Amino acid sequence: MDRLTYAGAAAGQVLVKVAYSSAALPEAGQQITAYPEVKLAIGSREGTFGGACWRSGIERNETARANAWIDVAGRFPLGCSGVSFQDCAPQPSDPQGQGTFEIRDFEQNYLDIVLKDP
């Protein structure tokens, strides 16, 4: 589940993009989820929105590379619908954060990402 933190004042949808890999599959999967506004994205930490649950369906102990940002300019449709995974990416001026996480089956996994203003 993602847990996002942001202390700034920017507004816009929050996008969380995750690419999965494992020893056997360097490109095992990818997923994008979105929150329509910052308040809902950071509120998921307390369970008010529920957060996004991530699963890849590949072998145990895969790696997740996550990138999250606030789409300040409103460039993308909700969740990057209709936009390729590669093209759905932040601008240098967007508040953003990233991390690499190990995902283990049958455990509660968290993607803790702090969004920071540029």
User: CA torsion, points 33, 78, 94, 37, in degrees to nearest 10?
Assistant: -80
Of 13, 76, 73, give the one whose Cα is nearest residue 49. Answer: 13
Tens-digit pLDDT profile for residues 69-100: 999 999 999 999 999 999 999 999 999 999 99
Domain edges within the chain = 2-115
Residue 45 has pLDDT above 90, yes or no: no
Question: What local confidence, expressed as pLDDT, does residue 47 receive?
Answer: 43
96 class by beta-carbon count within 10 Å (0-12 exposed, 13-18 middle, 19+ buried): buried
Percent of the chain with pLDDT over 70: 86
